[in-house]
């Protein structure tokens, strides 16, 4: 990805420069032994680990009712996700600072658009962390009896959130180490199923190509609606660009490699399960990978193996998402659009952002267990599928803006066409994500955004007042 930037790199504007231990623009503090920039392997693991949480362990059963035509939906979604990944790579080359979509939206459309990107992404991260922790308790219960009482389950969920937070408080050096180990450990069993499935594959297990009564287009769209959110996280390296070594080069590479790696695991894992578990059994399965392992190797140890893999996968995703939850508010705080406390780093990590995220996610987790209503919590999780796409839409729109408004001498015409097509595909993919989240999620998600408008009004007023005092 040496020569892929459509617009020549430009230095950040003075009012956008950042400072701190991360080594971004501005005056850098002395490096901490606990802070270490991510190389290409760790950045790639961050992308893959955040894309692949625990959903992979349920996906084959979720799409089985549509038949093997769901693999076509996988292909379509993969193409859209890769287009989005390429766009993030181009944008990171142009402006390789922490914040990702926030930075791009603000540079193109001003403070308000940047704030909306930061606010919506922040909501996504801490609500998703609560959801991941609660889901992980179900797998932990296979190994340890924590599900007998709601308070032991709640405590387990809180501990699962706290451990990745402690890794973040320790510094980026430890975040990267945890992410690398978690990615390797969770991919070993997934690859085992994918490779083992080649030797145990039986085409008779696949069932019909189209198992539903929908038209082929309708079946693909229905399967895609379930799979759409499997690729959330492609922006991970761009959001943490300030912690990546040589970000103009490595952010794009990590984004593409991570997305391709996740897509390969998704596709091979799903195909392996389809070919080893009979279709009629798979449709009603609650642990499809466990059933696949049992079918491949015999015995009943598959449930324990998959539980371990799923638990490792979710803890790794919590580790990565906890870091991302603090990065976007950090970038916004540098520009006066989030409280200044969010803009301070220690050991390379915005510790206040991590702390606030853990507190909010923990409160939501406790509420989930005390309210006893899964519907409320599921509704909040669906909202995050909408709020996650708002930064995508703004970032791809920013890329289109940069391409169309670029000066003739700074744009190579051949790349303009190519990057314009990629941006258009990525924007359409983001719109598909919004549509797939459902009417209720969009409606409630917009309400969450409107709460952010009030916060923006407060922060913008304080920023203006401070500027007035300085001018006087």
pTM summary value: 0.75
Q: Where is pLDDT greater, at 306 or 339? A: 339
At 33, the pLDDT band (50, 70, 90 cuts) reads low
Torsion of CA 208, 211, 214, 218, to 10 degrees: -80
Provide the 3-class DSSP secondary structure of residue 38: strand
Per residue in 300-329, pLDDT (tens digit) is 676 677 778 778 778 877 877 787 788 888
pLDDT of residue 55: 64
**Is 156's pLDDT higher than 60?**
yes
User: Across all residues in the chain, what is the average pLDDT?
Assistant: 76
Provide the 3-class DSSP secondary structure of residue 28: strand
Q: Which range among 246-250, 274-278, 327-331, 340-344 shows the weakest confidence by mean pLDDT? A: 246-250
Contact status, residue 421 vs residue 143, Cβ threshold 8 Å: no
Distance from C-alpha of 207 to C-alpha of 278, rounded to nearest angstrom: 7
Q: Break the chain down into helix, strand, coil percent, rounded to 5.
A: 75, 0, 20
Question: Maximum distance among all alpha carbons in the chain?
Answer: 79
Distance from C-alpha of 254 to C-alpha of 44, rounded to nearest angstrom: 4
At 182, the pLDDT band (50, 70, 90 cuts) reads low
Residues in the chain: 472
pLDDT of residue 116: 92
Residue 363: which residues within 8 A CB-CB, separation 6 or more? none
pLDDT of residue 113: 92
pLDDT of residue 19: 36
Distance from C-alpha of 393 to C-alpha of 442, rounded to nearest angstrom: 14
Q: Which of 46, 41, 14 is nearest to 167 (CA)?
A: 46
**Is 13's pLDDT higher than 60?**
no
Q: Which of 460, 109, 343, 341 is nearest to 468 (CA)?
A: 460
Provide the 3-class DSSP secondary structure of residue 309: helix
| DSSP classification of residue 96 | -
pLDDT of residue 172: 61
Distance from C-alpha of 95 to C-alpha of 104, rounded to nearest angstrom: 8
What's the mean pLDDT in 413-438? 81
Distance from C-alpha of 346 to C-alpha of 327, rounded to nearest angstrom: 13
pLDDT of residue 322: 82
E strand map for 365-457: none
pLDDT of residue 317: 78
Contact status, residue 89 vs residue 230, Cβ threshold 8 Å: no
Per residue in 40-92, pLDDT (tens digit) is 777 777 787 777 766 677 778 878 888 888 888 888 888 888 888 888 888 88
Contact status, residue 251 vs residue 24, Cβ threshold 8 Å: no
What's the mean pLDDT in 447-453? 88
Q: Which of 138, 99, 128, 356 is nearest to 232 (CA)?
A: 128
Contact status, residue 354 vs residue 167, Cβ threshold 8 Å: no
C-alpha triplet 238, 244, 247: angle, nearest 5°: 65
Q: Which of 257, 249, 220, 284 is nearest to 58 (CA)?
A: 284
Per residue in 371-422, pLDDT (tens digit) is 765 555 666 667 777 888 889 899 999 988 888 886 444 455 667 778 888 8
Per residue in 96-128, pLDDT (tens digit) is 777 788 888 998 899 999 999 989 988 888 888
What sign has the CA pseudo-torsion 406, 412, 413, 416?
Answer: negative
């Amino acid at each position: 990805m040496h020569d892929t930037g459509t617009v020549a790199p430009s230095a950040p504007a003075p009012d956008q420069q950042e400072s701190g231990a991360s080594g971004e623009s501005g005056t850098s503090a002395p490096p901490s032994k606990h802070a270490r920039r991510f190389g290409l392997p760790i950045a790639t693991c961050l992308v893959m680990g955040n894309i692949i949480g625990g959903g992979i362990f349920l996906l084959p059963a979720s799409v089985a009712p549509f038949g093997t035509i769901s693999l076509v939906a996988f292909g379509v979604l993969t193409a859209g996700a890769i287009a989005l990944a390429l766009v993030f790579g181009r944008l990171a080359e142009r402006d390789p600072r922490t914040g990702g979509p926030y930075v791009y939206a603000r540079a193109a459309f001003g403070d308000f658009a940047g704030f909306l990107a930061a606010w919506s992404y922040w909501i996504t991260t801490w609500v998703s962390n609560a959801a991941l922790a609660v889901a992980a308790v179900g797998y932990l219960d296979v190994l340890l009896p924590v599900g007998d009482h709601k308070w032991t389950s709640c405590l387990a969920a809180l501990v699962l959130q706290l451990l990745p937070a402690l890794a973040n408080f320790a510094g980026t050096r430890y975040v990267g180490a945890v992410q690398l180990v978690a990615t390797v450990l969770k991919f070993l069993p997934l690859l085992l199923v994918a490779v083992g499935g080649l030797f145990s594959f039986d085409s008779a297990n696949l069932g019909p190509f189209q198992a539903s009564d929908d038209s082929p287009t309708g079946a693909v769209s229905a399967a895609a609606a379930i799979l759409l959110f499997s690729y959330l996280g492609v922006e991970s390296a761009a959001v943490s660009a300030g912690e990546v070594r040589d970000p103009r080069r490595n952010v794009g590479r990590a984004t593409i490699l991570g997305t391709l790696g996740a897509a390969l695991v998704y596709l091979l894992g799903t195909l392996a399960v389809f070919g080893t578990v009979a279709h009629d059994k798979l449709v009603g399965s609650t642990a499809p990978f466990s059933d696949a392992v049992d079918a491949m190797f015999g015995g009943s140890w598959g449930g324990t193996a998959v539980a371990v893999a799923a638990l490792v996968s979710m803890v790794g995703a919590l580790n990565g998402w906890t870091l991302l939850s603090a990065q976007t508010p950090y970038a916004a705080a540098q520009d006066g659009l989030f409280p200044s406390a969010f803009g301070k780093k220690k050991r390379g990590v915005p510790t206040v952002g991590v702390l606030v995220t853990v507190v909010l996610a923990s409160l939501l987790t406790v509420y989930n267990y005390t309210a006893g209503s899964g519907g409320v919590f599921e509704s909040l999780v669906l909202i995050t599928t909408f709020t996650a796409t708002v930064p995508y839409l703004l970032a791809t729109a920013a890329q289109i803006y940069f391409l169309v408004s670029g000066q003739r001498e700074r744009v190579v015409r051949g790349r303009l066409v190519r990057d314009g097509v990629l941006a258009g595909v990525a924007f359409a993919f983001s719109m598909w994500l919004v549509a797939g989240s459902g009417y209720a999620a969009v409606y409630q998600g917009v309400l969450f955004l409107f709460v952010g408008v009030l916060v923006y009004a407060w922060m913008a007023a304080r920023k203006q007042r401070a500027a007035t005092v300085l001018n006087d």
